[in-house]
Amino acid sequence: MGSLPLHKTKGINPHMTICSRCGEDGRDILLLGVHDKKWRCSSCDTINLSAGRPRECGSCKSRCGFTSEGEVGEFEKLVTGLCDKCAKDLKEFDKIVSEGGIYWRCKDCSATGVIRGDSPFAKAVRKEMGIAAPKPAGVEFSNKDCPSCGPNAVKGDASEADADAGG
């Protein structure tokens, strides 16, 4: 385990985290110390935390450049990995898709989910794309047909859309 250079006024500089998928509170606390500057990678758009301009992106390993996004706010929650619920949901989504379902996402509201394999829509999408299960397949909706934000939005949790979603 390495050492953490302490910030002059904030010490270990602890920050709560949020889930990268749902935005709910995460399970981790990040200790930033002096690494409280945000730098956006020009290659992958990921925010890197560092005391100064990073040499390499922690996500894509690019060295192509970074744009300063300022300092992390005193009470700013930082995006990290997935919360337990989202990790469980995504594992279930993978299972549904491997059994013939399809992934979906909305380009307007950024919602994501799956449509079960017994859905006529999922069957038609897989047939049209020529992709059989267990290989993954998916579609992209807009606010005209999205199960989450569209005119026929699914009530409650649209992440596991009903059989006729988007169809």
Handedness of CA 78, 46, 142, 130 (dihedral sign): negative
Strand, helix or coil at 96?
helix
Query: According to the model, what pLDDT value does residue 166 have?
Result: 40
Mean pLDDT per block of 10 residues along the chain (167 residues) reads 87 94 90 95 93 93 93 93 91 96 93 93 95 94 91 68 42
CA-nearest of 143, 147, 81, 80 to 114 is 147
Query: According to the model, what pLDDT value does residue 156 have?
Result: 61
Query: According to the model, what pLDDT value does residue 163 have?
Result: 38
Read off the tokens for 91: 């594992």
In angstroms, the CA 33 to CA 13 distance is 5
Read off the tokens for 83: 């919360």
In angstroms, the CA 125 to CA 7 distance is 53
In angstroms, the CA 38 to CA 49 distance is 5
58: number of Cβ within 10 Å? 14
Query: According to the model, what pLDDT value does residue 21 have?
Result: 87
Give yes or no for a contact between 33 and 15, defined as CB atoms under 8 angstroms apart: no
